[in-house]
Structure 1
């Protein structure tokens, strides 16, 4: 019986390697795995619907779904290929006088796009845990290292959000160096920090300690990306959602089984064994779960943030995000 061809655009993750190299094959599907940078995948999927399935920014997907729940072009499955703590993604101009999170109030902050998942998490965490209301900051959008970046989707934000694009020939990284913006919220590390420029530093001097404390107190390991199937593909063959979900689970399990290998290091991390043990002590033995129920609390927080920040007119429920076939399983 022939398999149905399906193209999946996704980055080069260890937890998806088995899908990329074909050692895990989704039932009934002939998978073509396109390994693309995440920003390119998001742009091409949101603007042009180029792929049958793709990883997508959780913020972009939620914004798209809330804008038109009956006509949205995508259906998600509860697979989360990217998760990251984001306290480390708050960068400040060294001469701004910002020493603690509350000092951000009233300041001008650069964000590549308002709806970026990482930025949604940062704004929400600062509001919930550090007394920095979302509307207390002026947001300036644009490219980090190349000028001309714009929002991938149209946004209808409340009037209390002060947001404007930077000049089309400027970049946020340069403006952070010069002090034209006081801070930057971003998923990527700005080049000036990588280059050791003294004008730029992180807000939190020891972000890992802050992130571990946050994880211990909240139980949250922030979700960044989800996997979506184009709606026309899903409606023609609803079984595709479950087939992909199972394959992603298998691929992740293979990676997890290799993480504790000590005979030969798979990655260029000399203390990988210690890193794995430390992570499991903080986050638990299965710290990267797929599926709805084990991620429900984290998704509820993100969906609250999206609503509070003006990205959704109403607060969505986690169950609304995913193909119904992936939310239950048969029992023998």
Structure 2
């Protein structure tokens, strides 16, 4: 019996390099790895189902579950995680100096549904007293015009959500003061260029994020890995085999992360940063699976439902392939 051919679209991450290079194999699978930017992967997977397996926004995946026959089945592998206090940008002339100042303001988001924005809105409401519907949202492309919601939102939300103009971008609107703030997973280029009109809401965002982890134990999950339903139904063993391979690839990356014989990344004090991360988050700060991520997942599922995105309040075990929920015991 030949190997099942699978095409995987995923970011070019250290934790997936071993899958991309083939040093970690998936038994029974002939893998083609396509390293794509996440926006392209998400658009092509949701719109055209182009890939057998793909990295996908956790938020968008939840929206697909509302369909009569959901097109994807997720496995509890999280190729992207990121604290998001650092993803809140303000116009320095907007009068915003603290989270409470966001109430009543106009805030840009690439899409209302993007996972980073769901986390930011939830964290601001739960930990800083900024109600989600106290802000007016404007959606559109960060650096390019024409971006729209990749999956339709549920009707009936009382939150004000409007698209920006067809020739406008969020980064330029923030520079010009046409929006007061921006919630963005991708860093706006004017901020990178040190434009004086743009700053982070939390200048000490790293310290804020470390405190958030200490108090909640949450390292926000951004993306999951999904399998096209027809691929999954044809060979359900693929779900567990993929999960195991992603785990092994992550283990390979973690094994040498703080080696000093030669730097794997262009960060001269990487070993110090690894030690600092371990001191705050422990040695297993990027776990896969449902069990060790139950608090993080439950929190996001609650935020998604409360913000009018998910059509029901899911439990973590309900949104993943059952083959990946339990360990094999010998």
> Is the pair's TM-score, using the shorter chain for normalization, greater than 0.5?
yes
Secondary structure, counterpart of 1:33 in structure 2: strand
Find the aligned partners of 2:241 and 2:277 in 1 and give their Cα distance. Answer: 30
For residues 272-287 of structure 1, the aligned pairs below 5 Å read 272-287=270-285
Q: CA deviation at 1:157?
A: 4.3
Question: Match of 1:197?
Answer: 195
Q: CA deviation at 1:329?
A: 2.3
Question: Match of 2:261?
Answer: 263
Query: Please, what is the CA RMSD of the aligned residues?
Result: 0.8
Q: What's the TM-score, normalizing by structure 2? A: 0.99
Find the aligned partners of 1:122 and 1:159 in 2 and give their Cα distance. Answer: 18
For residues 59-138 of structure 1, the aligned pairs below 5 Å read 59-65=59-65, 67-68=66-67, 70-138=68-136
Contact kept? 1:157, 1:311, Cα under 8 Å: no
1:120-145, Cα deviation, whole Å (9 max, x unpaired): 00000000000100000000000111
Q: CA deviation at 1:230?
A: 0.4
Find the aligned partners of 1:227 and 1:153 in 2 and give their Cα distance. Answer: 17
Is the counterpart of residue 253 in structure 1 residue 280 in structure 2? no
Question: Match of 1:38?
Answer: 38
Q: CA deviation at 1:4?
A: 0.8
Q: CA deviation at 1:262?
A: 1.4
Question: Match of 2:214?
Answer: 216
Q: CA deviation at 1:313?
A: 2.2
Superposition misfits of 4+ residues, deviation over 3 angstroms: none
Contact kept? 2:157, 2:308, Cα under 8 Å: no
Find the aligned partners of 1:62 and 1:314 in 2 and give their Cα distance. Answer: 10
Secondary structure, counterpart of 1:215 in structure 2: helix
Q: CA deviation at 1:267?
A: 1.1
1:289-309, Cα deviation, whole Å (9 max, x unpaired): 001100111000000000010
1:153-186, Cα deviation, whole Å (9 max, x unpaired): 0101434110100110001111101101000000
Question: Structure 2: which 5+ runs fail to align?
Answer: none
| Equivalent residue pairs, number | 330
Question: Structure 1: which 5+ runs fail to align?
Answer: none
Q: CA deviation at 1:48?
A: 0.3
Question: Match of 1:12?
Answer: 12
